[in-house]
Amino acid sequence: MLVGQNPAGLAMLFCPGRDLFELITSRGPLLILWSPRDGPQRFYEVRNAVEGTSERVLSEVLKKLCRHGLITRHVEPSVPPKVSYALTGLGEGLLGIMDGLTGWIGRELENVEAAKRRYNAQEGMA
C-alpha cells in the first residue's frame, strides 16, 4: 500500500526507493554523511564532528551508509586499528542534491517564519 493514487514519479519513490529515502531523511545519516565531506575521517573524528549521536547509532549508520555505497570503509591493519570513512561519488552526489534542500531552507526560512507569525496573529483574534 502507501500512496496509490498519487502522481507518478512519487509512486516510483515509495516502493523500491522507499528504503533509500528513509535512510536519507532520518536524522543521523545526513549529519554523518556531511562529516567526511572534506576528506576521509576516522571513526572518532566523525563522532566528534557530529556530537550528539551515540556510538551505537553512529556505527549502525556508518554500516548502512557503507552498504548503500554512499561511503567507503578503509581498514588499516595495525595496532591500534585505524579505520577511515570516505565519501563515494554516490555520496557526493547525494550531498549535492541535499544542498538544494538546505539552500531552499536558507532562502525561504524567512518567509516560513513570516507565515508562522501571520498564522499566530490570526489565531490570536478570530
Partner DNA sequence: CTGTATCCGAGAGGATACTG
Partner DNA sequence: CAGTATCCTCTCGGATACAG
Interface with a second copy (CB under 8 A), residue from 55, 60, 92, 108: 108
Among the listed ranges 59-67, 92-100, 104-112, 116-124, the one in contact with DNA (CB under 7 A) is 59-67
Q: Does 124 bind a second copy (CB under 8 A)?
A: no
CA dist 37 to 4, 34, 89, 117, Å?
Answer: 37, 5, 11, 36
Beta bridge pairs of residue 75: 83
* Helix/strand/coil for 103: helix
Closest contact distance (angstroms) between CB of 28 and DNA is: 5
Apex 58 CA angle, 15 and 92, nearest 5? 60
Nearest distance from C-beta of residue 103 to DNA, angstroms:
23
User: Closest approach of Cβ 77 to a second copy, in Å?
Assistant: 14
The binder of DNA chosen from 14, 24, 40, 43 (CB under 7 A) = 43
Closest to 43 measured CA to CA, from 61, 30, 27, 26: 61
Q: Applying CB under 7 A, which residues contact DNA?
A: 26-28, 42-45, 52-57, 59-60, 62-63, 73, 80-84
